Chains A and B, each alone.
Chain A
Amino acid sequence: MTSSVATTQHSPPPSKKRSRKQIPTLALVAPSVIVLLLWMIVPLVMAIWFSLQRYNLLIPENREFVGLGNFVFILTDPALWTSIGITLILVASVLLITIGLGTLLAVLYNQDFFGRGIARVLAISPFFVMPTVSALIWKNMLMHPVNGLFAQITRGLGLGAIDWFADLPLLSIIIIVSWEWLPFALLILLTAIQSLDTDQLEAARMDGARPLALFRFVVLPHLSRAIAVVAMIETIFFLTIFAEIFVTTGGGPGLATTNLAYYIYLKALLEFDVGGASAGGLIAVVLANLVAIFLVRSVARNLDT
């Protein structure tokens, strides 16, 4: 019985079919497009609106339209330029470390050795630790100058202890973030390496290629696409690193680890300067777009070839 119903449904009159086709696709897509636009545009418009006002939450009576005053105030703040510089250093160095080490480890983990499965799981696990938690682990258990593991070891060797977050704050953050994201690069590059045709390697070896040359001329070109994708995804996340800085150094000492995200946080939630923070946010949007255009272009070039 069900089948008979189904068959009748499967053959509707042709006229109906045509009318259905005539419904413009725009009408069907419209709801989701509108929701998405609202989702994107409302916060953006509000940020632009607030950025044109002198608006401090604590001084409501002082609220007025100031035009580009907030932008002038923010752009003449030396701290903003420091924070943009730090953001770029942070992104670039963590990208270098994760991709460099990630490629190396991917090649290593692709070899056959005893306990490879366990080793792979261990190498990938840092990625599953929450940023705040890993920051706390590094701060209190590893890098603490009095109680930390590193200090215990160096002191045991008679070298004294490094006060990581005071002496090398940016390097400490770079180490922590790299530790978190290395597994991601490793994971993607490892799958890419596994898709490499072994016949090619074999042939190259027959032609007398040394391992280094094999890596340079066969493996690396094969990986270039995966590397580009890793770089793009990681950049998006590294531009907004916050939890690691908030937990460990609090942007300091001084401004040594204040990146753009932390700078905006300072403006918005420690100074309650809504106008200034919105202006900073818009500057961050511009910066992110600049970086994105660069990256998308280079990735697109890679994908074409």
Chain B
Amino acid sequence: MRRFRFAKVLVTFLIGVLLVQLLHACSADPQAAKKTRLTIATVNNGDMVVMQELSNRFTAENPDIELRWVVLEENILRQRTTTDIASEGGQFDVVTIGSYETPIWARRGWLKPLDSLPAEYDVDDLLDPIRTGLSNDGKLYALPFYGESSMLYYRSDLFEKAGITVPENPTYEQVGKWASQVHDPANGVYGICLRGKSGWGENMGFLSTLVNTYGGRWFDMDWQPTIDTPEWRKAISFYVDVMNDYGPPGASSNGFNENLALFSTGKCGMWIDATVAAGLLSNPDQSQVADRVAFARAPIETYPNGSNWLWSWALAIPETSQYPEAAQRFITWATSKEYVRLVAEKHGWIAAPPGTRTSTYTNPNYQQAAPFADIVLNSIKSADINHPASKPTPYKGVQYVDIPEFQAIGTQVGQRMAAALADRLSVEEAIERSQKVAQRFMRHTGYIE
């Protein structure tokens, strides 16, 4: 009897499972067959969030495509996409990558080349330096969503009060002097905010440009690290001194976002960082100093080369994508002229994705809404990834070195620089240890003996 009851329960259960399966198959199958589901990995920057919001326009125009978003913080995004692509996981159909990864991954054959773009996409409209940065052997491997260089932001009201006029091309010597003049911690204003958080894409992004313009470089032509040189010492000493004297407290944990928050709440007199912040700082919805922020080119010291960086966030299709055709339709839409216009329509021209298309910069509406447009355009145009330093380099890239090993070296050197900023190491110690770390790593990977 008991056994019978047990058997009954079991049979009912199995029938139930079967029914659920059948129902699921009936309801889900036709839909799954009809719709292509694209999985898109992207970074949680403001412009990408706007893209996510506006993508319902794309799905309305392409009813056969469904979008699934994986939005992650920059470092986590890099980890997820790299491990997925390197192990051929095939999890993503579209990935958001930067101009550092694109050529490296293209050389590995991890990305689909984008050589069959529709004519109305107008590839020639893309800004030349950005386009070169996303190409390998003359072929485009990713489409730029926004591009950036670096520039100087300052508070016009404070500078006026101190009687300073900023030339179009300031120098770091001037920046150091101005920082002392506008520094007023009693009223919660610090002379200068700069990146301090360690990481090859955080503090080293800025510090590489500083070193470049002080005449230094990462490697000599034999791939020997050149960190323990007078140029690096001068640049890093300048950085540590000016930040200790006129920087905000806790600077060694400030990255781009932290500094953006500090500047937009009026706590910084000056800030040198990505041009993409210009739109955010001028937007009264997001910035308390929107009417008082002024712009200049990134400062230079002895050499003008490589004092402003070049970066773009771009959309690419991994070789493992299941729906490359649909993926290409999406990335051409998200980086097209129509998309730029769509953002302008919904959020105003100031929110339009900057730094990718000539047509954005020739548009009178954009020029009027964005007083910084010319500086951004000139900074991007003058950034030259082929000649980042005054001396010849075996690598390409202004604020990075285009070899896969650079992530490790940049991260480790970044840690030592953050330690120098936090006064846990002297500048000399930080430089020496960085040189050793870089040498060790280059030897381990077989670049040098």
A residues at B contact (CB < 8 Å): 1-2, 5-6, 56-60, 62, 73, 77, 79, 144-146, 161, 163, 165-167, 169, 249-256, 266, 269-273
Contact = CB atoms under 8 A, between A and B. Distances in A.
B299 interface: no
Contacts of B411: 266, 270-271
A59 B76 CA distance: 20
A2 B1 contact: yes
Nearest to B421: A253
B253 A165 contact: yes
A60 B86 CA distance: 8
Interface stretch (B135-143, B244-252, B352-360, B389-397): B244-252
- Interface size class on chain B is 35 or more
B419 A253 contact: yes
Contacts of A73: 440, 444
Given A145-B250, A146-B248, 9 more contacts: A57-B83, A58-B404, A146-B249, A163-B250, A165-B252, A166-B250, A250-B197, A252-B415, A270-B411
A133 B81 CA distance: 26
B407 A272 contact: yes
Contact of B79 (A79, A166, A249, A269): A269
Given A250-B197, A252-B198, A5 B1 contact: yes
Q: Is the interface of A mostly helix, strand, loop or mixed?
A: loop
B8 interface: no
B407 A58 contact: yes
B183 interface: no
Interface of B: 1-2, 75, 79, 82-83, 86-87, 104, 108, 197-199, 248-253, 267, 404-405, 407-408, 411-412, 415-416, 418-425, 430, 440, 444-446
B449 to A, nearest CB: 15
B87 A252 contact: no
A77 B267 CA distance: 40
A156 B330 CA distance: 55
A144 B250 contact: yes
A146 B415 contact: no
Contacts of B422: 166-167, 169, 252-254, 256
Contacts of A145: 249-250
Contacts of A59: 404-405, 445
Contacts of A272: 82-83, 86, 404, 407-408
Given A163-B249, A272-B407, A62 B424 contact: no
A45 B108 CA distance: 29
A245 B250 CA distance: 16
Given A56-B404, A57-B83, A58-B104, A254 B419 contact: yes
A263 to B, nearest CB: 11
Contact of B253 (A2, A57, A249, A271): A249
B198 to A, nearest CB: 5
A22 B385 CA distance: 78
Contact of B86 (A58, A253, A255): A58
A262 B418 CA distance: 17
A254 B416 contact: yes
A271 B415 CA distance: 13
Nearest to B404: A58
